[in-house]
Structure 1
Amino acid sequence: MPESEHRMPFEGRRLLVVSTNYAPELTGPGPYAAQLAEHWARSGAETHVLTGMPHYPSWRTEAPYRGVWRADEERSGVQVHRRRHYVPPRQGVLRRGVFEASVLAHGLTAPPAQRPDAVIAQMPGLASGVIGARLARRHRVPYIPVVRNLTGVAAARSGIREAGRAAALAARVERYALGAATLVGVIHESLVPRVTAHGVDPGRIRLVPNWSRTQAPSADRAATRARLGWRDDVPVVLHSGTMGRKQGLEVLVDAARLAPDIRVVLMGDGDQRDALLARAPGLPNLDFLPPAGADEFTDILAAADVLVVTQCASVRGTGVPSKLTSYFVSGRPVVASVADGGGAAQEVQRSGAGLLVAPEDPAAVLAAVRKLFEEPAAADRLGAHGPLYVARHLSREAGLARFDALLGEVFDEAGESHRR
């Protein structure tokens, strides 16, 4: 749908998006919040964002924002209100709790002054959901949480000793945040049972999938491989994105140790990066690359032979990694080392762009990689399904139109309630 066709419904509206993460962060939920807010700003809405200081995925506050308590800035037509919060250098239940509490405290005590017509909040984190619910209640306006994952699920499966109590507390907070919603958006149908378990009526849930945020690769593949030092006769297996606990990237470190003839590349950052480095001292076939810039990101993905998404065996039904949309755009086959039946597995199966293997099994990952490298025609056929799937189901236009429909439905319902 052309942008001009859905500008008018929100002309003159004032919208508030609450998201702990926002641009200039390049991975995770931040880029989606930014593209959505910028879209609504282009559509004529006065769009405000209440967010934190850029820190993800490195979990280090970016240099320009260190020591800053509050910052109000304009980015691409959006009024961005940043509030300082604690950034834990290492993840753990207590540190994560302090992080969420600091986001919540500063967000509620210093929100934007303007009264919005609707509040949209990204979950996780917990603080964003509570802030969104409280501000919407304060102003008596519609509230829409968008569930990308649930913190209670992640805490319960983190392997941390205190996770049980943390999960119970997170579940109570999530129930509050979701229970206050006018409508609830979820990025994948695998999240619906988790949301309904918090007491949300299934009839109040709307599907708003992630869209592809990246452009198709444009550089010469051979030239990119040569620039990166990747030989044509050595399979290159690449994982891009956050290096955290739930990714379970130890499986790729162990795969590199088992297969010196395969190059494994971990591109990104996260709180587990140092632990992964410590697990792999002296492995010549394991590379750690910093996050790639937008101008070369998909070119690097397309230069690899196989792209890998990994999750711990216990991670099931917790949404879809945002990296998958970029993987599909690149045109390379995907090996998904994830729990069967989860959102990531469903999306890879639906796209037809990759193979599923058991999680936390380096031998299974290696077998799939060798199969694809030894059968290049089959690998190319799988890879070709990715861009087609994106074009049919995951385009930015389609994704933003779903959010427009969700917001329009909320405003229509609010109008009917007012008339009654």
Structure 2
Amino acid sequence: MRILLVGINYAPDLIGVAKYNTELCESLVDEGHEVRVISAPPYYPAWKVPANFDAAYFRAMDVNGVRVVRTPIYVPAHPSGGKRLAHHASFALSSMLPVLKEAISWRPDIVLSVAPSLMSAAFVSFIARRIGARSWLHIQDFEVDAAFDLGLLRSQKLRSAMLSVESAILRSFDRVSSISPQMVGRLREKGVAAVRTAEVRNWIDTSAVFPRPRQTQYRSQLGISESDIVGVYSGTMSNKQGLDLVIEAASALQVDHPNVHFILAGEGPHKAKLVDMAAGCARVHFLGLQPNESFNEFMATADFHLIPQKAEAADLVLPSKLGAVLASGRPVIAMASEGTGLAAEVEGAGLVIRPGDVGALASAICTLSADRERCEELGAEGRRRSIVRWDRRTIVRRWLNEMSAMHGSGSLPETSEIDSGAPAPMPMKDAVP
């Protein structure tokens, strides 16, 4: 097949949507398909484009067998609500010409649009219909809902207008997928016919992230002893993560629990603010994004992992870092409301607490710090769950099967042929290595 992916994030960005776009495309190439990508230059999560990409716009470059074309984009240093709209609009506009060119000259069989950015998706579906290609929209997060629920945008008239546009875009694609059952359910609430929806979740390479001893180079470098307790957060540091709650919990615990350390690794627009907040907390350590070659060792440094989240972000996105956390064989403390996708994934492999509740977070940290046996039980369950639900090979195969079905059929498959979005049944303990 010839597959054209249009998405704002791609390698060499290390985290977030870029990772999954890149690994999907390279896996498709490994299976013998031709893949081309139209994307923006790298900028995330630092919100800054490297200088060496300024002269590379609209030039095709081979990246591990994938032909990638970069388009100009506006990248705000401090991404507020209005600036984010301009950011996405700039990609939607600048990507039109290369999308049109590839569609006419190359004639892809499937055109895949990944949101973010939803703004660019409307033109993608329009062009796909004109050339007779199948169109697929994959939703990594609900941008419109997140922008208003998190307070980045506030006008209700604007929200109503944007939701109407979103609904029209969603219904214009042959297939619309998302990364959790709850998010697929939201697609259906937004008017997408069930027969056109599918759950295709993010993944983790469970052979690259696996349980290993706690005493790592990170503990040595940071002066953390083997007997100390370490909570780890790894990922983007932006508004919706609620990392200020971790700083507040660390401050509350530092007198009575001086052996509890926190490592926050990543980049993002809120990192400087968090560093300032933690100025009086000697047990809070900040690191940058960790390279792939030492990522597994970094994850093993933790006694438990932290996924703080604001209540407003529930089911707008399923944190992609969860797969790696579970694969590492460590328990997780997640802030999630009952019935949300995150709560369902974590229950039994960690502790689920109310979003925004610093007291509950501090209490959960104390609970796991005092019970190593429980940590091991929860971590082992997380590891089993990662293999069943998050393994890269299984999920990439689902992408391949769905695309092959779309390409080979004159009509869309029946509902029974599409993944229902229900979590895979958990095996007996001795069924998973």
- Give the distance between the partners of 2:246 and 2:80, measured in 1 at CA: 23
Judge conservation of contact 1:142–1:414 (CA < 8 Å) in 2.
no
Match of 2:296 among 298, 302, 309: 298
1:414, CA displacement in angstroms? Answer: 3.1
Describe the SS at the equivalent of 2:279.
coil
1:406 pairs, out of 402, 411, 415, with 402
Tell which deviates more after alignment, 165-174 or 69-78: 165-174
Choose the corresponding residue for 2:72, options 65, 68, 84: 84
Is the contact between residue 157 and residue 163 of structure 1 (CA under 8 Å) also seen in structure 2?
no
Letter in 2 for 1:391: I
8 Å CA contact retained: 1:73, 1:80 = yes
Determine which of 172, 177, 188 is the counterpart of 1:180. 172
In the TM superposition, what is the alpha-carbon distance from 1:274 to its structure 2 partner?
Answer: 1.8
Partner of 1:216 in structure 2?
Answer: 209
Question: CA offset at residue 300 of structure 1?
Answer: 0.9
CA positional deviation for 1:129: 2.1
Q: 18, 26, 41: which one pairs with 1:30? A: 18
Q: 2: CA distance between counterparts of 1:90 and 1:176?
A: 30
Structure 2 CA distance for aligned equivalents of residues 64 and 339 of structure 1: 43
Deviation at 1:172, TM superposition (A): 2.7
Partner of 1:3: none
Alignment of 1:47-58 (within 5 A): 47-58=35-46
- Please say if residues 320 and 343 of structure 1, whose CA atoms lie closer than 8 Å, have aligned partners that are also in contact: yes
- Identify if the C-alpha distance between structure 1 residues 416 and 235 changes in structure 2 by more than 3 Å, giving closer, same or farther: closer
Deviation at 1:166, TM superposition (A): 4.7
Q: After the TM superposition, which of the residue ranges 122-131 and 296-305 deviates more from structure 2? A: 122-131
**Residues 377 and 104 of structure 1: CA distance in aligned 2, closer, same or farther (over 3 Å):** same
Question: SS at the partner of 2:240?
Answer: coil
Alignment correspondent of 2:238: 244
Change (3 A) 1:51 1:188: same
2:361 equivalent to 1:368: no
Structure 1 residue 198: deviation in Å?
2.4
Q: Which runs of 5+ in 2 are unaligned?
A: 414-433
Number of the residue aligned with 1:273: 271
| Cα drift, residue 348 of structure 1 | 0.9
For residue 100 of structure 1, report the CA deviation from its aligned partner. Answer: 0.9
- TM-score between the two structures when normalised by the length of structure 2: 0.88
Of the structure 1 ranges 106-115 and 329-338, higher mean CA displacement relative to structure 2 is found in: 106-115
Give CA deviations for 1:95-140 in whole Å, capped at 9, x if unaligned.
0111011000000123353221110111222234224213313322
Question: Structure 1 pair 235/55, CA: closer, same or farther in 2 (3 Å)?
Answer: same
CA deviation vs aligned residue, 1:138-196 (integer Å, no higher than 9, x gap):
32211010112111110121123535445334323322221111111121110123212
Q: Is the 8 A contact 2:60 2:69 kept in 1?
A: yes
Q: Whole-Å Cα distance in 1 between the matches of residues 9 and 165 of structure 2? A: 19
Distance in 1 between the 2:357 and 2:144 partners?
Answer: 26
- For 2:181, the equivalent position in structure 1 comes to 189
Corresponding position: 1:353 with 2:341: no
Contact in 1 for aligned 2:235/2:289 (Cα 8 Å): yes
* 8 Å Cα contact 2:56/2:70 also seen in 1: no
Q: Which residue of 1 aligns with 2:7?
A: 19
Q: 1:118 aligns with which of 104, 107, 110?
A: 110
